[in-house]
Structure 1
Amino acid sequence: MLEIAQSTPTADAIARVIELHHDRGPVVASEFLRRSFNQVYRIEFASGQRAVARLCAQRPRGEPNLVFEAHALAHWFEQGCAVSRCLPAKNGQVAVDVALPEGRRPLMLFEYLSGEFTGDAPDRIQAFARGLAALHDAGASYRGPASRYMLDLDYLLHQPLQRLLGAPTLTAEMRPQFEALARRLHEQIAELGELSQVLCHGDAHGENNFVTLDAQGAHQVAFFDFDEAGPGYLAYELAVYPWVMFPRVPDGVPSEKLLARWAAFVTAYREARPVPEADLAAIARFMAVRQFWLLGEYAGRIPTWGSQAMPTDFLRRQITMLTQWETLELPM
């Protein structure tokens, strides 16, 4: 029998699993939405209720953080934050195991949210930033089950580096270059002293939330996709938004539009929640940390995505870009 790295169940198959394990009635419509790090499906019940199902992928980091994620979402909701909560199975468990050719994988069901992504309008960006600040304020009182993972430099930088160093498309000359970049990056962050910790969303790049208008016409933001949530650096959390916008090419220069979006974000966040100077200074360094994290995630998925998801010329460009990012500064 062939060994399977990762299979993709159909939307209809996922619907049948949900009907069996969730006490929410028949599923009348289902749709496969996307394959990213996980596989995500839209579910519609005969009652009219909608939900989102997430089939957790086998992550290079290890087991999914299910119990922590479900309890953290419940806590944020109780504190008044708009989040997509976990919908437990009828046996009370936060996930059900699905038997697949590659082994058993957990399936979670979440509340359905509607709205639009953050986009580039200043008022929507400001709402996103205020919502993120509210998550961080509310997370300070979380006392539920502990997270499997800390979003520290071991998790975000050193473990991804080790996975990257094992990539078959990485040449012998590039290995010491990536190692030196990671070492200098760690040293730069250490020199900034003690940095603030928050309960992080972990992937707040502006498209893991929806923005809507309330009855008074004010922008409201609701967050979803907390697969990367956990305690970690505030500077890392704030770095994810500029990181996703920044040009991914050597000699990339941020446009005026990008800088305006960043200014709207960081100003609104600081108005809602003060940020110490050391954390502000660390944001640009954590953009590079985020890139190492991403490279490690790609390297860990080579059995599923193939080695050409990160070809040699791409990796060579990463060295040039990360070298330039060593002196990157963001206006505050």
Structure 2
Amino acid sequence: MDLEIAQSTPTAAAIARVVQANYPVGEVVASEFLRRSFNQVYRLTLADGRRVVARLCAERPRGEPNLAFEAAALRHLQAQGCPVSASLPTAQGEVAMRVRLPEGERALMLFEHLDGEATADVPANIEAFGRGLARLHAAGEAFDAGASRYRLDLDYLLMQPLQRLLRAPTMTAELRSPFEVLGVRLRDRILALGPLSRVLCHGDAHGENNFVVGHEHGERQAVFFDFDEIGPGYLAYELAVYPWSLHPRSVDGVWSDKALARWNGFIAAYRAVRELGEADIAALGPFVAVRQFWLLGEYAGRVPVWGSQAMPTDYLQRQVKLLTQWEALELPVPPAVATAGPAH
């Protein structure tokens, strides 16, 4: 009897064979399965000593991966002097290839491998992360974002994830209305702030999708990877992803002094390179809650692969309480220092 497959997991050795046969990289001498999250990621070592990273794209609730746009944006950012993990073309010059698996075809994309320190809670690294993200945004201003599959607007970040969440098998009638009310109220609060700045968003800049390396002139520098969520969108959302990752997940959670220091170091470093308007500052708190809605929608869309108990009903009950608390969240933003300009 044939069984339907939601998502298979190829071995690292199998991915190594596929890459060796389809990319002009020479022999692959070692392979390692790094993680299974929204995608499956592998590290490969080549005969000449180089390392590369292969990303096998998973089926995603938001639609097809943004591959062509991602590759073009990475080329642009690299040409502008931004240290990013650029994608590597196939032997046929394509930005990605299709791999046939039991569940159907999935896209495989190959990237340069980056090394460096984790951002962690090291103040100099956090400041490098803030400066680096500001420089990415400055460099992205000259890039034509018209071809992006993703637009990180309120429909994409909030209303579509809300609808996926409401259809989750663990959603109850009692929870459906509070989630709907919270989502609509959050959308209306952000729209009431007026026009907000737009940038070319990394989309997932939570401090763990970059490393930090030493610079020849002494300044530490952030190097960025994992642009899977890239697209034009709200600057305030992009900046809210980092404090979202720092905020306690308990209902009565309050910011620790350490978390506040990390946030202050990050946003001060960002503002030293690139200006941040008053409306964008006011939107930071609401977008922390938007980010949580986006994540819940992603989980709901992956139930066929991860299972319904990736978000059980008691978890959803806690999320209503958490989002109610976050609805009134305001992020402290220290005064700006002199802007250094869009240096690369």
The TM-score range, normalised by the shorter chain, is over 0.9
d(CA) in 1 for partners of 2:122, 2:87: 30
Question: Residue 70 of structure 2 corresponds to which residue in structure 1?
Answer: 69
Task: Give 3-state SS (helix, strand or coil) of 2:276's partner.
Answer: coil
Distance in structure 2 (CA, Å) of the matches to 1:116 and 1:43: 20
Question: What is the CA-CA distance between 1:8 and the residue it aligns to?
Answer: 0.2
What's the counterpart of residue 336 of structure 2? none
Divergent runs of 4+, >4 A: none
Aligned to 2:118: 117
The amino acid that maps onto 1:202 is G
Amino acid across the alignment from 1:155? Y
Aligned to 1:247, the other structure's residue is in SS state: coil
Identical amino acids, percent of aligned pairs: 67
Gaps of 5+ in 1: none
In 2, Cα distance between equivalents of 1:63 and 1:231: 16
Query: Which secondary structure does the structure 1 equivalent of 2:117 belong to?
Result: coil
Distance in 1, matches of 2:256 and 2:43, equals 36
Amino acid at match of 1:203: D
- 2:276 corresponding residue in structure 1: 275
One-letter amino acid of the structure 2 residue matched with residue 309 of structure 1: A
CA positional deviation for 1:303? 0.2
Q: Deviations over 1:80-104 (max 9, x none)?
A: 0000000000100011100000000
Aligned to 1:100: 101
Structure 1 residue 218: deviation in Å? 2.4
One-letter amino acid of the counterpart of residue 119, structure 1: A
Letter in 2 for 1:245: L
In structure 2, give the amino acid aligned to 1:199.
Answer: L
CA contact (8 A) 2:145 2:231 kept: no
Scaled by the length of structure 2, the TM-score of the pair is 0.95
Q: Is the 8 A contact 1:181 1:322 kept in 2?
A: yes
Q: Whole-Å Cα distance in 2 between the matches of residues 170 and 116 of structure 1? A: 40
For 2:145 and 2:233, how far apart are their aligned partners in 1? 16
Partner residue in 1 for 2:235: 234
Number of the residue aligned with 2:170? 169
Q: 1:144 Cα shift? A: 6.5
Kept in 1, the 8 Å contact 2:88–2:111? The answer is yes
Match of 1:130 in 2: 131
Structure 1 window deviating more from structure 2 (212-221 vs 78-87): it is: 212-221
Partner of 1:17: 18
Counterpart secondary structure, 1:294? helix
Q: Report the alpha carbon displacement of residue 214 of structure 1 after superposing the two structures with TM.
A: 2.1
CA distance in 2 between partners of 1:318 and 1:79 (Å): 41
Q: What are the Cα deviations for residues 277-327 of structure 1, in whole angstroms up to 9, with x where unaligned? A: 000010010000000000000000000000000011110000001001111
Q: Return the offset for 1:216.
A: 3.7
Q: CA RMSD in A?
A: 0.8
C-alpha contact (below 8 Å) 1:83/1:223 kept by paired residues = yes
Q: C-alpha distance in 1, partners of 2:185/2:144?
A: 35
Superposed displacement of residue 271, structure 1 = 1.1
CA distance in 2, matches of 1:257, 1:50: 35
Which deviations, in whole Å up to 9, do the C-alpha atoms of 1:48-69 show, x marking residues without a partner?
1110000000001111100000
Secondary structure of 1:8's match? coil
Match of 1:43 in 2: 44
SS of aligned partner of 1:61: coil
After superposition, where does 1:215-226 map in structure 2 within 5 Å? 215-226=216-227
Q: What is the letter of the counterpart of residue 269 of structure 1?
A: Y
| 2: CA distance, partners of 1:117 / 1:172 | 43
Which moves more between the two structures, 207-216 or 136-145?
136-145
Query: Is the partner of 1:108 in helix, strand or coil?
Result: strand
TM-score of the superposition, structure 1-length normalised?
A: 0.99
For residue 254 of structure 2, what is the aligned residue in structure 1? 253
Q: Deviations over 1:251-292 (max 9, x none)?
A: 111101100111001111111101000000100100000000
- How far the C-alpha of 1:145 sits from its partner, in A, is 6.3
Q: Quote the residue 2:56 is aligned against.
A: 55
C-alpha deviations, 1:167-213, integer Å up to 9, x for none?
Answer: 11111010010000001001110110000000000000000000011
